[in-house]
Amino acid sequence: MKRLITVTALLLCCISINAQDLNARVKVVAPKIQITNKRILQTLETAMKDFLNGRKWTTDVIAPNERIECNFVLNVTSWDGSSNFTGELQVQSSRPVYNSAYTTTLLNINDRDFDFSYAEGQTIDYSDQNFQSNLSSVMAFYAYMIVGMDYDSFSRYGGTPYFLKAQTVSINAQTSSYKGWKAFDNNLNRYWLAENLNNKLYNNLREFIYNYHRNGLDAMADNPSKARKYIGSLLPVLNQVDRKRLGSYFPLAFFTAKNAELVSIFSAASAQDKINAMNILSAADPANGNKYQSLSGR
């Protein structure tokens, strides 16, 4: 009996050690440039996937069926024929909604400042302590962002440790010459995404995200009407966020991920609730105003 317990404990220990956090699907494409050696794209794709899925990004033990679903699509726009690449990286993540087959998008980022070096068969090195390469730093940055957003949706400010780690990646990258890491590059880059998510000015949006998912979406299966009313009661927070620093990255990223879902939620609301939602959302997110106008029924 003791031997059985010992074997079982060892197996559980091995599972804990080997269990990873992300279920990342990676695609590398180059539709606009001529690359005769397609194999380098395939090896890059495999290397990125292994890097994202092969590391522990959290301090918790994550069961295989609980790994965070995410997609990385790298569109290579330039290649020097050797090891230097330029591209755009689309990063998406989602999480399941309680007691349903529906998954909700948490992150949907298009990073247009992605230059990096990669040689076929190269090991992608990374350290939390210093900058190793732009390829590994960008992937680590978004891995921590994905984990942070997931944790924030399940517990109030649960993503804080991971947003801090993402900011550390950004700070370490200040020594590099690559774009996207510095405050003066532009106001919609990695630097500002990390800054916003670690800035107390945006705690109300983070709290909104928790309440929206945990007490709103996760309650939809039990009582859709009540959950919709609850989400409607949260919406005024979104206007308060936008007034703090107009055009900030975190609110923009939130609406990019959520605008279609918000329209879908309130499309089944009462006429008055539709109008209320449309007015609040149009004011908070004018870039998607035409989409919210559909709630007016016109």
Q: How many CB atoms lie within 10 A of CB 64?
A: 10
Q: Are 52 and 72 in contact (CB under 8 A)?
A: yes
Q: What pLDDT does residue 35 have? A: 79
pLDDT along the chain (298 residues), means of 10: 37 48 97 85 96 96 94 96 95 97 97 95 93 98 98 98 98 96 92 97 97 98 96 95 79 97 96 96 94 88
Q: What pLDDT does residue 187 have? A: 85
Chain segment 14-66, per-residue pLDDT in tens: 434 455 899 999 999 999 888 777 899 999 999 999 999 999 999 999 999 99
Q: What pLDDT does residue 5 have? A: 37
Q: How many CB atoms lie within 10 A of CB 102?
A: 13
Q: What pLDDT does residue 222 have? A: 95
Listed by start position, the domains of the chain span: 1-144
Instruction: Count how many residues are written for the chain.
Output: 298
